[in-house]
Structure 1
Amino acid sequence: MPDETSSRRAGLAYGIGAYALWGAMPVYFLQMRPAGPFEIVGWRILFSLVFCALLIVATRSWQRLRAVLHDRRAALLFGLAGALVYINWTIYVGATTTGHVVEAALGYFINPIVTVLLGVVVLRERLRPGQWAAVAVSAIAVVVLGVEGGTPPLISLGLAFSFGLYGLVKKRAGARVDPLSGLTLETVWLAPVAVVQLLVLGLGSGLAFGTAGWYPSLMLASAGVGTAVPLLLFASSTRRLPLSVAGFLQYLAPILQFATGVFLLHEPMSPGRWAGFALVWTALVLLVGETLLHGGLRRRAAPVPIA
């Protein structure tokens, strides 16, 4: 029991560390200015690949990576996952560097609802009444935010659906692929795109890396570590924590991002925007409450094991 308790404490610490780092990403990306979103994403891909390669060498994980490369289906799925994470990164970095941190946070608030909806559409799962209620309230929130802003919250929806589909593809790829091999393969697929992207930028408006001073260049070079470390902390956390605890921790990142946008960067929050967020938070309360209730009912209905 003491070993299990210490393992859960470590898992909780790893989880908080991962989501706290993800929550601080808006401030992190702002330190890379004057680099634009496409340059930041390009360097993020390349330096993530370099960092993953160093970790694989240090941990002697070539065999696991080779096994994934020999699995044609898994390799193709991680190519698709790489395309989705590229879309997600580009939208997120673009949002956080152009004054839309609050809208980006909204995307990760509604991501659990989108994941539930994708389960219905793609996996043909059947929702319980409480889950349908959460989806309905979220849809009303999107309408309210669209009316208030004049257009639908496209940044939020883009982030939620790209990350939701990314999780779905990773699930299809299977749990047998460890996070380090998965991230390495995704960045291998994206590396040619990043190189072309950076070459086009270099020939056009020019690159900030190496020309805008040592601090932005250092921040850009650290993008590999900044990408891989939270992911590895997250993987270590999920191995040690019950799914219910890990599910609650996921809300830490958008809470921190929302606080950063409102209180640190002073992004405007009109009454209509507060109303939309209140509806989203209501939907999350419904979803979490329904999940806890259903889990409790299932535990009470389970047969008592014979000693």
Structure 2
Amino acid sequence: MHRSPVTGPDRMPAEGDVSRSYPLGGHRLDVAGGSRVGQRYSANFDVLHVDPVLPFLAVADGMGDGRGSTVAGGTTMETMVAGVRAAAPDLGPGPLRAAMARAQSLVRAAGAELNELTGCTFTGLVVVPPATGPVDEGHGGGARRTAPTARAAPGGSTPDPATVAELSGWIVQIGDSRAYRLRDGLLELLTVDHTAAWLGAVYGWYPADSPAAAAARYQLTRYVGHPAMPEPDLLNVTLRPGDVYCLCTDGVAEQLDYQRLASRLGATGSLAETVRGILADTLVAGGRDNATAAVLRVEH
């Protein structure tokens, strides 16, 4: 959906869905993602990434419906993927901020060449290997921990609890694409929309259902390609068995209400079915925007 800023290599996502599974720290992480054009636009300006090797999922949403939107989304996603892969397994705030800073620079440069609005939102989640093993003093003097290997329990396939480590992950977010978590039946919004509407709701500038609030919904205060090159929000989260994380563009967040999204994420069955259901709901709601979702579930 078109957005306007508050201050003054191409890649188009496929319509097909994708599913992955990652064994990590005695757990299994199931991931599924998908994207739909919707009814308003002839092309999809969202970008979806579900990494084939690392437990890393991300969504991006271009600003506008032109060349700048396509370039911004593709460039940002490719840059963040390259940064995560280069830093793995030692992922943390430093490498993630550095990757976003590079994406900002590249998108700003592309915008100068295109001479049009060139920007996008980005939300990603990367799960890091558990650091519970012995300390390795190598690697240039920097202490580093090695991840444990889960052992199968005698007579069964359940991992030995002594080797099942607690997992953590980093959420990287800028703009108004969102990250949700369903835990013990409670759906929480973990991220903040970087929009004038969010600030207005917090500080009471105008009623939430007013025309002014509706207009402010599309005024981004932070995004990739912003003249000030703002930093993203970084959030460290713990992943527990049963947790479901959902990353989505505003084409999902604006068309599915809280109860509907919570119901979809809490349903039993495959995550591929969950994602297809979420995206189908956006079309039923009117398909007023490109819609993209990536969902991760932590299994024992």
Higher Rg of the two aligned structures? 1
TM-score higher than 0.5 here? Answer: no
Q: What's the TM-score once normalised by structure 2's chain length?
A: 0.28
User: Which of 1 and 2 has higher RCO (CA within 8 Å, sep 6+)?
Assistant: 1
Q: What's the TM-score once normalised by structure 1's chain length?
A: 0.28
Task: Kindly indicate which of the two structures has a greater share of residues assigned to helix.
Answer: 1
